Amino acid sequence: MPTKKLNKKSKILIGDFSMWQEGKRTSINGNIKALLEFFSPRSAQIDLVDGPHPGSDRVCSIIEIHQKGKLQKTRCAKSSYFLYPFLKFTNDVSKTQVTFKIRDIFATLEQGLFSGQKYQLFIGLESIYTFAGLILRKMGIVETVVYYISDYAPSRYSQKWFNEVYLWLDRFCAMHADFIWDVSKAMHPARIKAGLNPKRSAPELHVPNALFPQQIEYYPLNKLNKKMILFSGSLGIDNGPDLAIKALPIILKAAPGAELHFTGGNIPEHENRLKKLVKKMKLEKHVAFHGFIQNVDEFFRLTRGAYIGLAPYVVMKKSVRWYADSVKIRAYLAAGLPVITTRVPPLGKEVAEAGAALMVEDNPKAVAGGIIKLLRDKKLYQNTRRAAIKYIKNNTWENVFSKALQQMKML
């Protein structure tokens, strides 16, 4: 079915997720702010179905009505009340919860069926929301369905039957959506290898994560803390924070004043594991944990003051990092930081080829070696920094979404 260009009368329905704390949406979400800011000037109304992520302090789906860039109405999905006891009981951040997935389908169908609206465009973050969007399209409530994937791995779940359901849902959405938006170029080949028939697939577009223009800013060299090595994001083992700590004694021999800073991580046991490792290695004076920084502007201010950004992902066969986009690498580049990474993240390879990162093996000695090289070689550091600034300068949400819609012939 041919698509129509968006206009000031267009209505859009988005199914997405976010982490809620203290009654507010945090910056951990499926690019909600970016989607709202981009589509608001290009439509009459955006209806958002926001499913709080497990671990949030609220569990019912939130439905928001946005008109002309302003939030007009907010309510809890009525369908969520029927699931409330089950949602509360299974509200565990460390696991994927089936009850939350059922909640998301019901909330999306509720809004589509009872809003009285016809939507020109539906954007579903991940397969569950997209599945609901496809039902609404079948009912004539939605015209065009976009399957927007921020996270994919062919071996995502350890339980075989659950992983098979996950892969089936992904294939179903990839075949029946009008367009696929993948944040990483590695996702679609992996999907095909996992069983998707490419001849039956919807058109796949690379729609990477991006930044707002004000986030792409860097300090002059003389304002940087040349001792500060920064690790941002999730503190799970597969992301490599343990490697960073184990590399620090080697770094300190070459640069005695070096400091390792951690930002991010919303799972206490991960941070506790790292703090025990720091204590065991007697590195307390050289390591700082800033926790999850809720204020995005504050996070970028801290990042801009650092000297090197770390993304030392660990080589693990079933890691989702082989297929995902790396938001932390984009944040480092936006602040003008040279990056140390491994061969795991697809973006890491691309950035290293552009001269904005050093690619190393996933062991403490190699990670330390890359950092020491940047600390000692001023010319290498400056060249890598210049490449980082050049690579990221046009990586804005406006550019990314505009390109996607132009490819869809909707802009």
Alpha carbons 312 and 291: distance in angstroms, whole number: 19
Count, residues in the chain: 411
Out of 3.40.50.2000, 3.40.50.880, 3.90.79.10, 3.40.250.10, select the CATH number for domain 213-392. 3.40.50.2000
CATH 3.40.50.2000 in the chain: give the residue spans.
11-210+396-407, 213-392
Instruction: Please check whether residue 122 is in contact with residue 133, taking contact to mean a CB–CB distance below 8 angstroms.
Output: yes
Alpha carbons 213 and 28: distance in angstroms, whole number: 19
> 368: closest CA among 260, 266, 295, 272?
260
Tens of pLDDT along the chain (411 residues) come to 578 999 999 999 999 999 998 888 988 888 999 999 999 999 999 999 999 999 999 999 999 999 988 999 999 999 999 999 999 999 987 778 899 999 999 999 999 999 999 999 999 999 999 999 999 999 999 999 999 999 999 998 888 999 999 999 999 999 999 999 999 999 999 999 999 999 999 999 999 999 999 999 999 999 999 999 999 999 999 999 999 999 999 999 999 999 999 998 778 899 999 999 999 999 999 999 999 998 999 999 999 999 999 999 999 988 889 999 999 999 999 999 999 999 999 999 999 999 999 999 999 999 999 999 999 999 999 999 999 999 999 999 999 999 999 999 999
Residue 186 backbone phi and psi in degrees, to 5: -80, -15
β-pair type (70-76, 45-52): unpaired
> 132: closest CA among 149, 145, 143?
145
Q: What fold is seen in the domain 11-210+396-407?
A: Rossmann fold (3.40.50)
The predicted structure's pLDDT at residue 30: 85
Q: Tokens 């930044």 identify what position?
A: 211
The predicted structure's pLDDT at residue 268: 86
Rounded to a whole number, what is the distance in angstroms from the first to the last CA of the chain?
Answer: 16
Instruction: Please check whether residue 314 is in contact with residue 239, taking contact to mean a CB–CB distance below 8 angstroms.
Output: yes
Give the per-residue SS3 of 48-72: EEEEECCCCCCCCCEEEEEECCEEE
Residue type, 239: N
The predicted structure's pLDDT at residue 127: 97
**Which structure tokens are listed for 74?**
């907010």
Beta bridge partners of 230: 261, 309
The predicted structure's pLDDT at residue 1: 58
Give 352-357's long-range contacts (Cβ < 8 A, gap of 24+).
354/387, 354/390, 354/391, 355/383, 355/384, 355/387, 356/384, 356/387, 356/388, 356/390, 356/391, 356/392, 357/311, 357/329, 357/384, 357/388
Give the per-residue SS3 of the chain: CCCCCCCCCCEEEEEEEEEEECCEEEEEECCHHHHHHHHHHHCCEEEEEEEECCCCCCCCCEEEEEECCEEEEEEECHHHHHHHHHHHHCCCCCCCCHHHHHHHHHHHHHHHHHCCCCEEEEEEEHHHHHHHHHHHHHCCCEEEEEEEECCCCCCCCCCHHHHHHHHHHHHHHHHHCCEEEECCCCHHHHHHHCCCCHHHCCCEEECCCCECHHHCCCCCHHHCCCCEEEEECCCCHHHCHHHHHHHHHHHHHHCCCCEEEEECCCCHHHHHHHHHHHHHCCCHHHEEECCCCCCHHHHHHHHHCCCEEEECCCCCCCCHHHCCCCHHHHHHHHCCCCEEECCCCHHHHHHHHCCCEEECCCCHHHHHHHHHHHHHCHHHHHHHHHHHHHHHCCCEHHHHHHHHHHHCCCC
Alpha carbons 206 and 43: distance in angstroms, whole number: 23
